[in-house]
A and B are shown apart, each in its own frame.
Chain A
Amino acid sequence: GESVGLHLPTLSVQEGDNSIINCAYSNSASDYFIWYKQESGKGPQFIIDIRSNMDKRQGQRVTVLLNKTVKHLSLQIAATQPGDSAVYFCAEIFSGNTPLVFGKGTRLSVIA
């Protein structure tokens, strides 16, 4: 499949453990954030989003935390599974309907 980024930061996690993927975003005025998952050979897939008026949002096995003070976003994956192996991107929207700005991505590798 397509190689997204051979030089991406990589997080290796044991199957069943929790994963935390971090992202520093660029614009303190950004008001909407999304985490995407990209598996080899596929396009990015929406995982979870959060608006700037929130600091935490939970989905199924995933939680996004937003710290606006330090412009930091994190994605927590509970009970990591082999199928979670992928590259994860954070994306931000500065305001309104402006385009998404994507971060560089983190490769998550799950060790069975």
Chain B
Amino acid sequence: DAGVIQSPRHEVTEMGQEVTLRCKPISGHNSPFWYRQTMMRGLELLIYFNNNVPIDDSGMPEDRFSAKMPNASFSTLKIQPSEPRDSAVYFCASSLDGSTDTQYFGPGTRLTVL
């Protein structure tokens, strides 16, 4: 099992650019969770899905952030336009059926916005 796959692993962009982070949950899992990790705020849940439907997006910081689950095996997190304060490590985790107590984390994407 390849586990959760995230791409890219590192992204450096300039302020104002659009950034798209990608996540492939574990095969058979239909619930991706997106987290952001920073030194100041720790690990924060942004949004999670179950069966392609967003269940809780209360952690999404603002309208510049959007997330989709176009199919059962893929999710994206988009930031448009990006700002330096968006610099963080973004993790995708997956669970089998939306259960929040059993999540498997991917390796993360380190985003740097200059």
CB atoms of B100 and A43 under 8 A apart: no
Option from A6, A89, A97 in Cβ contact (under 8 Å) with B100? A97
CB atoms of B4 and A43 under 8 A apart: yes
CB atoms of B42 and A2 under 8 A apart: no
CB atoms of B39 and A7 under 8 A apart: yes
Tell me which of B11-19, B67-75, B76-84, B106-114 binds A: B106-114
Q: Which residues on A sit within 8 Å (CB–CB) of B106? A: 43
Q: Which residues on A sit within 8 Å (CB–CB) of B49? A: none
Q: Which residues on B sit within 8 Å (CB–CB) of A7? A: 39
Q: Taking the complex as formed, is B53 at the interface, i.e. its CB lies under 8 A from any CB of chain A?
A: no
CB atoms of A43 and B42 under 8 A apart: no
Bound together, the chains give a CA A32 to CA B101 distance in angstroms of 8
CB atoms of B89 and A2 under 8 A apart: yes
CB atoms of A5 and B101 under 8 A apart: no
Q: Which residues on A sit within 8 Å (CB–CB) of B21? A: none
Interface residues of B (CB under 8 A from A): 4, 33, 37, 39, 42-45, 48, 56, 59, 89, 91, 93, 98-108, 110
CB atoms of B39 and A41 under 8 A apart: no
Query: What is the minimal beta-carbon distance from A110 to any residue of chain B, in angstroms?
Result: 22
- A: number of interface residues (CB 8 Å): 25
Query: What is the minimal beta-carbon distance from A105 to any residue of chain B, in angstroms?
Result: 7
Main secondary structure of the interface of A (DSSP, over half): loop
CB atoms of A5 and B105 under 8 A apart: no
CB atoms of A42 and B107 under 8 A apart: yes
CB atoms of A2 and B39 under 8 A apart: no
Q: Which 10 A-B pairs have the closest CB atoms?
A: A43-B105, A102-B43, A2-B89, A99-B45, A44-B105, A5-B39, A104-B42, A43-B91, A99-B100, A43-B106
Bound together, the chains give a CA A97 to CA B97 distance in angstroms of 11
CB atoms of A98 and B100 under 8 A apart: yes
Query: What is the minimal beta-carbon distance from A73 to any residue of chain B, in angstroms?
Result: 15
Can you give 20 contacting A-B residue pairs, CB < 8 Å? A2-B89, A2-B108, A3-B39, A4-B37, A4-B39, A5-B39, A7-B39, A42-B107, A43-B4, A44-B105, A45-B105, A89-B43, A93-B101, A97-B98, A99-B48, A100-B45, A100-B101, A102-B42, A103-B42, A105-B42
